[in-house]
Structures are given as C-alpha cells and as structure tokens.
A = this chain, B = another copy of it.
C-alpha cells in the first residue's frame, strides 16, 4: 500500500462532482489539488507544496489588493469567473501604477458542483494568469454543503511593485486635471445582464474583461507624474468618479458627447433600463493627469492595443459639494450622482 498522490483515480472530470471530502484536508483534497490545481497553475512556487509561497521582489513600494468574485452566471460571453478573477485583481494592483508580480487564489466550492465545470474555470484562470505573466503562487480550497454557496466563489489577492517615482492615489487628483478613459464603457455588465435576461442582439456583446497592467506600465513610463488611475468596475464610471471626487475634495465636469459607448451596448441599456454610466466594466481604466501631460498620455494609451479607443471625457473642477456633473448631448448639465439603489447585483 503506497500513498500515491500522483494518480487522480478518484477525480472524474466527466461526471464527478465536488464532495465534502474534497475540503477535509485529507487524501481527497490532496488529489483535487494535485489532479487539478497544481496541473493547471503549474509553477515552481506551487510545486514546493508548502502552505505559502516565498519569493524575492524587485525593489520598490509593494502594493496589495484583494477581490472576491461571486459572479452569476459563472460563464459569460468574453470570459468566466476564472479569467475575471485574474484580470480583476491584476487591474486593482495595476491601478496603483504597479507591476503585478504574484497572485493567490482561494476557492469556496459548493458540494455537488460539477468537476467538469470546475476544471473549465481553473483552466481559464490558469490561461489568464499565463497570458498576463503573473503566476498564481499559493492557494486554498474549501467546500461548503449544498445550498450554502453558489457553485464557485473565488478570492484572488495580488501583490506588485511600484516603479520608482510613481505615486498614484485618489487624494492626488487636482483641479484642472484632465479625465481620460481607456475605451467604451458598459460592455461587461451588459454582457452579463443580456445573458441573465436571455437577450440576443444582432452583434454579440462580449465582456471587456482583460488585464490592464501592460497598458499601465506604458502610461507611467511616459507620464510618471500621473495623479490617479482607477478601474470603474462595480457601480460603473459614475461611482468611480464620485469616489474620487469625494477623496480629493473636488468636483468633476464630463461631456456626454465624449463618452464612448458601443451602439449595441447603448441599445441594450435602453432596452434593459440601465444607464451605462453605472454599468460595471472589467477592462477599462480612468486616468487623472495634469492638463499639460494629457496629450502625451493619450498618445501612449492609443499606441497600446488595450487603449486604442482612449479619449478625454472631462476635467476636474473646484466644487465644495464634490459633485460630478455631465454636460448632456443637448447642452444641459446634470448631476451624475452616487448609485442609490441597487442596479446590478453579482456582476463582478
């Protein structure tokens, strides 16, 4: 009798399901880890099989960001909870101007979840991490009883290092700063909502889920004096602008005519009764920079495949009320308020 953890005889990826024993710390859990996670995420840190990863970091300030993903449905046009959980945390780290270096992954699995789907998610996660060049170096798996979870929840936490001379933050935004958006808004939220509502459009709407750290690296290289970067995820662009206005003690003035929204996204929003300003994005960023750098920043962004549609959408203004205001297409001005009710639950 040899304890052979190399085999995965008990993992049936065709018809098998997650069982409570996969979270018990015993042999079945070791088999799940060896037969699925280690195989997919394969890297020297994980292969050491300690309860933590150890590594050297380049010099510089360290950044840490965490995000739990509870999205429903788990698979959507343009991605799934696996790729999203990698992109989301990479982007949170990158928004500090940092280069993400290492990720952790914590899975909460519901008893009865098909191993086939778990494998698809884990492999998508592994592919996203590989494409982004940021390894998943440590992980954890828990299993909860049927009815105490919802298939799969994934926490990813990321760390990264900020290049010298770069220091970003919402509190650094100044009156006069230009507000630059990296591309059209609303794609992610509308892709998910269309799926939930069983809507089909002539042109498929795909999530914009993508990693932005390479784009950010180019941006901080050209404009190291950038004031702030933020990715408008939950709550959309409107929420992000309000958060920063609050943090910096400023107002903002944006122009609706400059706000990029794909025609099919605009149409879907109208149909679903959504305002694209409040819809989640997973592959866009908004940048605040001194006015005299904005042309150079735009040029750097447009030269990168993930920033090709970058545009200036407005500017930071003095306002003791810290309002975000938008000049509409018809010339009026309206307040873009905080999201008060609930628009889109479990979207990211």
A interface residues (Cβ-Cβ under 8 A, vs B)? 1-3, 5, 20-21, 23-30, 48-57, 61-70, 92-93, 95-96, 98, 102, 104-108, 137-140, 142-145, 147-150, 153, 155, 157, 159, 162, 168-171, 230-231, 233-236, 239, 242-243, 246-247, 280, 321-322, 337-346
* Chain B residues whose C-beta falls within 8 Å of the C-beta of A3 in the assembled complex: 242, 246, 321-322, 337-338
- Which of the residues B56, B68, B92 comes within 8 Å of A62, measured between beta carbons? B56
The winner among A48, A137, A157, A233 for most chain B CB atoms within 10 A is A157
- Are the C-beta atoms of A25 and B235 separated by less than 8 Å? yes
**A166 closest partner in B (C-beta):** B54
Residues of the B chain whose Cβ atoms lie less than 8 Å from the Cβ of A62: 54-57, 62, 159
- Pair A235/B66 contact, Cβ less than 8 Å: no
Report the minimum CB–CB distance from A300 to chain B (whole Å). 22
Say whether, besides A52-B64, A64-B104, A92-B51, A338 and B24 are in contact (CB < 8 Å): no
Residue from B53, B96, B157, B339 in contact with A63 in the complex, judged by beta carbons closer than 8 Å: B53
Report if A48-B169 is in contact (Cβ < 8 Å); known contacts: A148-B150, A234-B24: yes
A64 touching B246, Cβ below 8 Å: no
Of the listed residues A24, A56, A170, A234, the one surrounded by the most CB atoms of chain B closer than 10 A to its CB is: A24
**Given known contacts A26-B340, A142-B70, A234-B25, A93 and B345 CB-to-CB distance under 8 angstroms:** no
A67 to chain B, nearest CB (A): 5
Report A332 CB to chain B, min CB distance, Å.
18
The smallest beta-carbon distance between A91 and chain B, in angstroms, is: 9
Contact between chains at A159 and B162 (CB < 8 Å): no
| 26 intermolecular pairs with C-beta atoms under 8 Å apart | A1-B321, A24-B342, A24-B345, A25-B235, A25-B280, A25-B339, A26-B235, A26-B339, A51-B92, A51-B95, A51-B231, A52-B64, A52-B93, A52-B98, A54-B98, A56-B61, A67-B106, A68-B106, A70-B108, A70-B144, A106-B106, A108-B153, A144-B153, A144-B346, A149-B150, A155-B155
Residue from B107, B170, B337 in contact with A68 in the complex, judged by beta carbons closer than 8 Å: B107
Q: Give the docked Cα–Cα distance between A286 and B230 (Å).
A: 44
| Bound-complex Cα distance A65 to B66 (A) | 13
Q: Across the interface, do B343 and A24 meet the contact criterion of CB distance under 8 Å?
A: yes
Q: Across the interface, do B26 and A155 meet the contact criterion of CB distance under 8 Å?
A: no
| Best-buried of A54, A153, A157, A170 by chain B (most CB within 10 Å) | A54
User: What's the nearest-Cβ distance from chain B to residue A321, in Å?
Assistant: 6
| Most B C-beta atoms less than 10 A away, residue of A3, A49, A68, A153 | A68
Q: Do residues B52 and A63 form an inter-chain contact, with CB atoms below 8 A?
A: yes
Most buried by B among A65, A138, A147: A65
The answer to whether A345 touches B20 (Cβ under 8 A) is yes
Known: A25-B235, A148-B149. A20 touches B342 (CB 8 A): yes
